[in-house]
Amino acid sequence: MLVTYIRSIVLYIIVLVVTRLMGKREIGQLQPFEFVISIMIADLATIPMSEVGVPIFDGIIPIFSLLIMHLIITVLNLKSMNFRRIVCGKPAMLVEKGTVNEQVLEKERLDLSELLEKLREKNVFNLSDADYVILETNGEISVILKNNKKVPTVEDLNISPEYTGMTFTLILDGKVMKENLQLLGKNKKWLNKELRKFKAEPKEVLIATINESGEFFCQRKD
């Protein structure tokens, strides 16, 4: 029992490291080859984890082999557009100039209900509002709305909003983010001075932030 527990921990750490080395993609954003490798890694880890008689290296070596294969494919994807098309495919135009492309829907094995569902996920609740809908290689869709349905930008409204820039977290659940303070050229003395305006100590603060324009926000814990 103890051996199984230790093997499980070791394999978990290895799979976690390998997953981190593969990059920071969400599950829904994986390319087909990344999805396949992820499934295979999970299967390879399961065998030595559950079968004590199987040497643990019989799972570790293939996992790292898949990692190397993933890194090679990733580099080739960056270097060759043709290779990327072969491995990942290419985007498909589901809706073009407001018209649903039935042949493309059939080719991608999507029906209208699934298309409408994907549009709702993008906060588009009326198919007629979409000018172009593109199915990306990772399964997500990109939507270009018709001009009269687009949300106006500040540029359209001729508004010049005040620049706020990046927002930095200074305190999170009572813990001071020292790295951010150093990045801003500030110290704890300055932070305590700002917190006194809210009659709070760092340990009493749920979150405190400041943006590049100097706007300081603080919320105390309940």
Q: What is the pLDDT of residues 25-36, one digit of tens each?
A: 555 566 777 778
Residue 68 lies in a domain: yes
Q: Report phi then psi at 136, rounded to 5.
A: -80, 170
pTM of the model: 0.65
User: Are 27 and 79 found together in one domain?
Assistant: yes
Residue 18's contacts (CB-CB under 8 Å, 6 or more residues apart) are 41, 63, 64, 66, 67
Residue 127 in domain: yes
Residue 27 is predicted with a pLDDT of 53
pLDDT value of position 54:
77
Report how many domains make up the chain: 3
Residue 178 lies in a domain: yes
Q: Judge contact between 98 and 128, C-beta under 8 A.
A: yes
Residue 21 belongs to a domain: yes
Stretch 196-219: mean pLDDT: 93
Nearest-angstrom CA–CA distance, 163 and 123: 28
Average pLDDT of every residue of the chain: 86
In a domain, 154, yes or no: no
Question: Per-residue pLDDT averaged across 150-177, rounded?
Answer: 86
Same domain for 145 and 123? yes
Q: 110: domain CATH number?
A: 3.30.240.20
Structural domain including 40 reads: 2-86
Q: Is 123 within the bounds of a domain?
A: yes
